[in-house]
Structure 1
Amino acid sequence: MEIPRRQVRHLSSLLVGMMCIVGSVVVSAQPIHQTVDTHWYPATATWYGDPNGDGSVGGACGYGSLVDVKPLRARVGAVSPVLFKNGEGCGACYKVKCLDGSICSRRAATVIITDECPGGVCSGGRTHFDLSGAAFGRMAMSGESTQLRNRGLIPIVYRRTPCMYRGKGVAFHVNEGSTDYWLSLLVEFEDGDGDVGSMHIREATSNEWLEMTHLWGANWCINGGPLRGPFSVKLSTLSTGRTLSARDVIPRNWSPKATYTSSLNFT
Structure 2
Amino acid sequence: MESEGKFVQLLLSLCLVAVQCLVVSAGPLRSVSDPHWYPATATWYGSPDGDGSDGGACGYGSLVDVKPLRARVGAVTPILFKGGEGCGACYKVKCLDESICSRRAVTVIITDECPGCSAGSHFDLSGTAFGRMAVAGEGNQLRNRGELPVMYRRTPCKYPGKNIAFRVNEGSTDYWLSLLVEFEDGDGDVGSMHIKQASSTEWTEMQHIWGATWCITAGPLRGPFSVKLTTLSTAQTLSARDVIPSNWSPKATYTSRLNFN
Instruction: State the TM-score, normalized to the length of structure 1.
Output: 0.87
Contact 1:246 1:262 (8 Å CA) reproduced: yes
Given candidates 74, 88, 91, the residue that maps to 2:71 is 74
Secondary structure, counterpart of 1:260 in structure 2: strand
Q: What residue number does 2:200 align with?
A: 206
Q: What residue number does 2:100 align with?
A: 103
The Cα of 1:120 is off from its aligned counterpart by: 3.9
Contact 2:53 2:112 (8 Å CA) reproduced: no
Contact 2:207 2:216 (8 Å CA) reproduced: yes
Give, in whole Å, the separation in 2 of the partners of 1:48 and 1:132.
6
Give, in whole Å, the separation in 1 of the partners of 2:239 and 2:117.
40
Secondary structure, counterpart of 2:151 in structure 1: strand
Give, in whole Å, the separation in 1 of the partners of 2:116 and 2:104.
29
Q: Deviations over 1:22-81 (max 9, x none)?
A: xxxxxxx65441101011000000000000101121110000000000000000000111
Q: What residue number does 1:35 align with?
A: 32
The Cα of 1:114 is off from its aligned counterpart by: 0.2
Give, in whole Å, the separation in 2 of the partners of 1:119 and 1:149.
19
- Whichever residue aligns with residue 172 of structure 2, its letter is S
Secondary structure, counterpart of 1:56 in structure 2: coil
Deviation beyond 6 Å, 4+ runs, structure 1 = none
Q: What residue number does 2:246 align with?
A: 252
Contact 1:30 1:241 (8 Å CA) reproduced: no
Give, in whole Å, the separation in 2 of the partners of 1:225 and 1:133.
45
Secondary structure, counterpart of 2:79 in structure 1: helix
Q: What residue number does 2:52 align with?
A: 55
Give, in whole Å, the separation in 2 of the partners of 1:42 and 1:92.
18
- Measured at CA, do residues 258 and 189 of structure 1 come closer, stay the same or move farther in structure 2, by a change above 3 Å? same
Give, in whole Å, the separation in 1 of the partners of 2:38 and 2:155.
13
- Whichever residue aligns with residue 80 of structure 2, its letter is L
Give, in whole Å, the separation in 1 of the partners of 2:139 and 2:161.
31
Q: What residue number does 1:171 align with?
A: 165
Q: What residue number does 1:86 align with?
A: 83
The Cα of 1:263 is off from its aligned counterpart by: 1.1
Give, in whole Å, the separation in 2 of the partners of 1:258 and 1:142.
41
Note the residue ranges of structure 2 that are not aligned, 5 or more in a row. Answer: 1-24
Secondary structure, counterpart of 1:66 in structure 2: helix
Structure possessing the higher radius of gyration over alpha carbons: 2
Instruction: State the TM-score, normalized to the length of structure 2.
Output: 0.89
Q: What residue number does 1:181 align with?
A: 175
Higher RCO structure (Cα 8 Å, ≥6 apart): 1
Note the residue ranges of structure 1 that are not aligned, 5 or more in a row. Answer: 1-28
Give, in whole Å, the separation in 2 of the partners of 1:36 and 1:69.
25
Contact 2:76 2:114 (8 Å CA) reproduced: yes
Query: How high is the sequence identity, in percent, across the aligned residues?
Result: 78
The CA RMSD measured in Å over matched residues stands at 0.8
- Whichever residue aligns with residue 93 of structure 2, its letter is V
Give, in whole Å, the separation in 1 of the partners of 2:47 and 2:96.
23
Give, in whole Å, the separation in 1 of the partners of 2:116 and 2:58.
17
Give, in whole Å, the separation in 1 of the partners of 2:136 and 2:256.
39
Given candidates 218, 222, 232, the residue that maps to 2:226 is 232
